[in-house]
Structure 1
Amino acid sequence: MSAQIKESPQRTSNIPRGSVVGLLESRASKEFVIGVMGAVGSGLPSIVTEFEEQLVKLGYQVVRVKMSSFIAAQIENKTVTVPVSDMDDRYLKYQSGGNELRRLYGHDIMAKYAINQIGRNRLAIDPELKDLTKEPPRIAYLIDQIKHPDEVVLLRTVYRNNFYLVGVMSLEANRRARLKDDGMKPDLIDQVVNRDRKEGYKFGQQLEKAFKLADYFIHHPFGVEKLVTDQVERFIHLTHGDNAITPTKHEHAMYVAYSTAMKSSCLSRQVGASITDVSGRLIAVGTNDVPQYKGGLYSSENPTDDRCFKTHKICENNAEKNRRFAKIKLGIETKFAEVFKDADMAKIAEANVAAIADFVYEQSGIPDLIEFSRAVHAEMDALISLTRGGGGSTVGGSLYATTFPCHNCARHIIAAGIDKVYYIEPYEKSLAPEAHKDAIEVLDHDNDSVPANPPVQHTRLRFVHFSGVGPRMYTDFFQRDTRKNDNGDFVPNRTISGEFPIKIIHEYIDPHRVFEVKVATLFDEVFPITTPAPVVASLAAAPVAPPGLGTKGSGAANEG
């Protein structure tokens, strides 16, 4: 890990002094908003504490925003009602309270609370920050914790490039161990963990859907705290443009899988996969889409494109399940007509056919079926591509998938001799771990990164949750125009004030129209011209550049 960021305040900025870009970049926000999420028992308090310690080293004031505090307050003042059976345990109480708040006030209510708290804190620091052109101080807000994708959407909409989402992974066995250490009884642990995992109903937490939206993934295995420190430190340094950090082989391979997923036209979801051989060389990629005659998948280059969105206009998997649901409903209606001869009973039965059919359909497991799809899965596309053109051996290699492989793909991955599978999005419908317990083990971190003595001899295919930079942030974190100054010296990071590094991705305090006026004014000072009347009128009505951007005094007339 590079140490230059936090050792010395004497640093050389590679922002050109006096340039227009340098002037505008001085208006980049110094605020930093981090949302943390993880399943119950993931040990988030220690993660948040580690974030706080690392951020303080970089000169941030740190404010924690705890969602559970809001839930507890609303339960206390009777805004929401929680079942009496849940009141004796804080986990169950907060789960029920959060769900009720979402039901009453919308899926994003917890994010609204966080935004409200951040705004209030900003004004508590300095009431003059009501002036939206005034620059807030260097401050970081830690939101603990996020549970729903709609919360992520709202926070990203409001804070844009100032917001980062961190997902924390910990296997169920480790999470149970933490809850046991917390004094929870085994039967209650079962209830809390199972409920946390399964809450995907309309107003539930839906953590799995939120998890795939993370910008960075952190492993939190039980009893390996040093691993957490390293991961948090790397994330903080990456967000502040540490030029000494480059992608891991896993981040690169997952980014390739992620970018390959963009080729998919599947109506359900876009999935990508990549395969590396035993030496780490990339040998295959794949995505989920409809196969074409003579090999491969349909693409935009095909003159006869028969993908679902082109010709069928419906997902074939859904269409087949809809047909089966219709058969279930017809069967219930027919049987009711045979059984209920009494007119009154027949009316009651008829009125309840739809509800009964819905219940039977949900309980049948049909909604989870995946075999009716026309698409080849991404993992299979990658494996099959090797049979068409060769290019390497899969034995001892690794497969990277944006989603946990389904049981159909898993059996082929095992047969191909793959050693490890890295995935991002959990997939509850996959029966792979249960169906192939003899051949698959699911780990919460890559135990090769924590060497054992003596070395562990693995006898099963390892499924490991991906950790590191989320693919959506890959180019933002790792793309560099240069890592040196004009003399050729290595530049550790970028600064504006010279004291602390700035975030690598900017979110500006001012709207783009303010910047537009400032740049146009600077241009006019050098090239005085007569501007057409309509443009003069629009510029006269434009907002005045805020303090800090003026070259002839704040709010000069020629800037408006």
Structure 2
Amino acid sequence: MAVSCEDDQRKSRLRALGYTDTQIKAMDDEEYGDRKLTDKSTYIKQDIQACLQRSDLYISNPNSTNTVSHFSLLANQIITFVCLMVRPGLITPTPLERCMQIAYTAKLNSGCISRQVGAVVTDKNFSVQSVGWNDTPFGQVPCSLRNRFDLVSGNDQEAYSEYEKSNIQYIARFTQESEKYLKIEKTGRNVSYCFKSEYNDLIGEKNQVHTRSLHAEENAFLQISKYGGRGIENGKLFTTASPCELCSKKAYQLGVKEIYYIDPYPGIAMTHILMGGTNNPELILFSGAIGKAFHNLYSSKMPYKDELNALSL
């Protein structure tokens, strides 16, 4: 279970507790920073991003202006989940849960070896118009199915780009780096790799533009144009992460009015792109059940009609 609130509200609460902006930044860097397997602290520090990605129950705890019942929204969510735990199938999923569950399922199609993300685009009435996940363009082999030793040995040539096969500097470094994975190859595992990481290490940068994959939100938008879907102006976007700067601009241009997200993107997409102008979409932190919890809470143990008939005997 993940209990969260909007990022600006989280920071304001920390400031109210006496934390300075410097301390908050240090806290965020520690809880959201890069994890190195060789660093012992990796195994004892909180990993907030991983917790958000692995949860299947999400509770939103926003600031409330209701002084009479300050925690009514929080309480209602908890009561709903508890009732469903006691009596699965008592109510049906909300439209928000239904759409986010589709996005959650879609992300499993992703061949990205770093992170799987799913997205769904609907019209204003929650009618699904397209589904997307982060993956390579159609016709290219996803990273999860490529093998660094196939590239080095010249096998499965269609799976690799001309750059990977012909750039001498890249090949030399890649071949050298591959040596430490020889022991893994002998176990029978597929030794896949992330081109973005390999290339960024080569040029000494950290640039997201070098990823092979389309982002989930971007992919969902493109499916609409590819297959002749109708317009989505005033529609909704559901994402199991949150849109980056590039995907945010696309959502804004398409006229998306509501964006439901789970994990805040560590950039300025929200404050700079989605909150700048006269046609700003509403950013809404998702609350509800997805994944295993979705099925466990909303699947009745038996048809309600049969239950009533049994109780009437």
TM-score by length of 2: 0.72
Could you report, residue by residue, the CA deviation over 1:61-83 in whole angstroms, capped at 9, with x for unpaired residues? xxxxxxxxxxxxxxxxxxxxxxx
Q: Which residue identity is paired with 2:255? A: G
1:68-147 equivalences in 2 (<5 Å): none
| 8 Å contact kept, 1:254–1:471 | no
Q: How does 1:431-470 map to 2 (within 5 A)?
A: 431-436=268-273, 438-439=275-276, 459-470=279-290
Give SS of 1:212's match. helix
Gaps of 5+ in 1: 1-165, 292-296, 299-304, 326-365, 441-457, 492-560
Residues 173 and 431 from structure 1, CA distance in 2 versus in 1: closer, same or farther, beyond 3 angstroms? closer
Corresponding residue number in structure 2 for 1:207: 48
Q: Secondary structure at the match of 1:273?
A: strand
In the TM superposition, residue 414 of structure 1 has moved relative to its aligned partner by 0.8
Correspondence 1:197 to 2:17: no
The one-letter code matched in structure 2 to 1:416 is: L
Instruction: State how 1:345-384 maps to structure 2 within 5 Å.
Output: 366-367=205-206, 369-384=207-222
Aligned residue for 1:463, secondary structure, equals strand
Q: 1:172: how far off?
A: 3.8
Render the CA deviation track for 1:13-35: whole Å, top value 9, x for unaligned: xxxxxxxxxxxxxxxxxxxxxxx
User: What SS is found at the alignment partner of 2:100?
Assistant: helix
Amino acid at match of 1:480: S
Counterparts in 2 of 1:481 and 1:472: CA distance versus 1, 3 Å: closer
**2:196 maps to 1:317:** yes
Deviation at 1:487, TM superposition (A): 6.8
Say whether the 8 Å CA contact 1:260–1:272 is kept in structure 2.
yes
* 1:178-189 → structure 2 map (5 Å cutoff): 178-179=13-14, 182=17, 184=18, 188-189=19-20
Instruction: Provide the rounded CA distance (Å) in 2 between the counterparts of 1:225 and 1:459.
Output: 31
Q: Distance in 2 between matches of 1:418 and 1:405?
A: 12
Is the contact made by 1:262 and 1:270 (CA closer than 8 Å) also made in structure 2?
A: yes
2:54 aligned counterpart, secondary structure = coil
1:431-462 Cα distance to aligned partner (Å, 9 max, x none):
3124316438xxxxxxxxxxxxxxxxx84112
Distance 1:315 1:487 in 2: 52
Q: Please, which of 399, 417, 421 is the counterpart of residue 255 of structure 2?
A: 417
One-letter amino acid of the structure 1 residue matched with residue 47 of structure 2: Q
Residue identity opposite 1:260 in structure 2: A
* Letter of the structure 2 residue corresponding to residue 478 of structure 1: Y
Q: Provide the rounded CA distance (Å) in 2 between the counterparts of 1:438 and 1:172.
A: 14
State which of 36, 57, 68 in structure 2 corresponds to 1:216.
57
Per-residue CA deviations over 1:25-48 (Å, capped at 9, x if unaligned) read xxxxxxxxxxxxxxxxxxxxxxxx
Q: Which residue number corresponds to residue 267 of structure 1?
A: 113
Distance in 2 (alpha carbons) for counterparts of 1:436 and 1:379: 15
Partner of residue 6 from structure 2, selected from 153, 171, 196 = 171
Residue 132 of structure 2 corresponds to which residue in structure 1? Answer: 286
Query: Within 2, Cα distance between the matches of 1:487 and 1:179?
Result: 49
Contact 2:84 2:90 in 1 (8 A): no
Hey, what's the Cα distance between the residues in 2 that align with 1:475 and 1:485?
Answer: 20
Measured after TM superposition, the shift of residue 389 of structure 1 is 1.7
| Contact kept? 1:290, 1:375, Cα under 8 Å | yes
In the TM superposition, what whole-angstrom CA distance separates every residue of 1:510-536 from its partner, at most 9, and x where no partner exists? xxxxxxxxxxxxxxxxxxxxxxxxxxx
Mapped contact 1:243–1:483 kept (Cα < 8 A): no
Q: Which residue number in structure 1 is paired with residue 169 of structure 2?
A: none
Aligned length in residues? 252
What's the counterpart of residue 484 of structure 1?
304
- Which secondary structure does the structure 2 equivalent of 1:275 belong to? strand
Which residues of structure 2 form unaligned runs of 5+? 65-69, 147-158, 161-191
The structural deviation recorded for 1:179 is 4.4
Deviations 1:260-308 (A, max 9, x none): 11111112211111111012111100111111xxxxx24xxxxxx6333
CA–CA distance in structure 2, aligned partners of residues 261 and 390 of structure 1: 23
- Contact 1:439/1:461, CA 8 A, preserved across alignment: no
Letter of the aligned partner of 1:281 in structure 2?
S
CA distance in 1, matches of 2:310, 2:108: 35
User: Residues 178 and 222 of structure 1 are in contact (CA less than 8 Å); yes or no, is this contact kept in structure 2?
Assistant: no
8 Å Cα contact 2:218-2:247 kept in structure 1: yes
d(CA) in 1 for partners of 2:225, 2:264: 28
Check 1:241–1:189 CA distance in 2 against 1; reply closer, same or farther (3 A cut). farther
Cα drift, residue 476 of structure 1? 1.9
- State the shift of 1:191 in Å: 3.7
1:391 and 1:268 map into 2 onto residues whose CA distance is: 30
Q: TM-score, normalization: structure 1?
A: 0.42
For residue 488 of structure 1, report the CA deviation from its aligned partner.
Answer: 4.2
1:194 to partner: Cα distance: 2.2
Distance 1:386 1:412 in 2: 13
Q: Give the alignment's Cα RMSD to 1 decimal.
A: 2.5
Residues in 2 aligned to 1:180 and 1:431: alpha-carbon distance in whole angstroms = 21
Partner of 1:307: 142
* Residue number among 223, 226, 233 corresponding to 1:385 in the alignment: 223
The 5-angstrom pairing of residues 33-44 of structure 1 reads: none
SS of the residue 2:223 aligns to = helix
Residue 105 of structure 2 is aligned to residue 226 of structure 1: no
